[in-house]
Amino acid sequence: MRDPFNVGESSDLEHLVWKSGERERVYKGPIFDVCSIVRTSSDGRTSRFVEVDSPDWVTVIPWYRAENGKPMFVMVQQFRHGSSSVTREFPAGVIEHGEDPQVAGLRELKEETGLVSDPLTALGNVSPNSAFMNNRTHFYLAEGLSLVADQSLDPNEQLDVLSVSVDEVIASMGTGLYDNGIMMIALGFFLREAKKRPFLYTTKE
């Protein structure tokens, strides 16, 4: 029996790897495709699995300090068709084929809010759902914000732009309007950056 209380990282991961075999596209859609893929485990078991073939995503966290010294986020509110509800989120979108993630982040920021950023800091990227999705989602912190344009939304986009204090977002993430798992990941990346730069979430007197 393996000891779950054994502290340390295991360097032997090879026995967990399933080797890929035949891959077939079974559905082609406007947002993602669905593939069926055969994989074989290290102990000889073979099965067929579902893989969602999706473009990479990008999320931008626009940050600034209000005149009263409070750190603030610029966020957007929109109706989400998967949950049939309005959510409050950081600007985000799909990275176009061949597009640099940073370029995509700046594009989405400007399209959704009219803002540009200098600097734009890469915070990291992760698999949004490694159980069946094959894409990555990238996260950036946008500072030095300037309003330069009106919104330039896609035909079926409808969203409001507003400022929310960093304190409120930290306290509310995962509840109510903040019901979006990708935003929780974004906040985690922000808090890791803020641990190195505490002024990102402290009020300036």
Which uninterrupted H or E stretch holds 205? none
Question: Is residue 62 within 8 Å of 73, Cβ to Cβ?
Answer: yes
Distance CA 183, CA 205 (A): 29
In this structure, is residue 9 part of a structural domain? no
114 & 21 share domain: no
Distance CA 38, CA 45 (A): 11
**Region 48-57 average pLDDT:** 97
Domain count, the chain: 2
The string of pLDDT tens digits covering residues 62-86 is 999 999 999 999 999 999 999 999 9
Residue 148 has pLDDT above 80, yes or no: yes
Scan for tokens 């759902």, then name that residue: 129
Quote the tokens at residue 45.
Answer: 């078991």
Host domain of residue 22 = 14-53
Per-residue pLDDT band for 149 (boundaries 50, 70, 90) equals: very high
62 & 110 share domain: yes
Distance CA 25, CA 150 (A): 40
pLDDT value at residue 3: 78
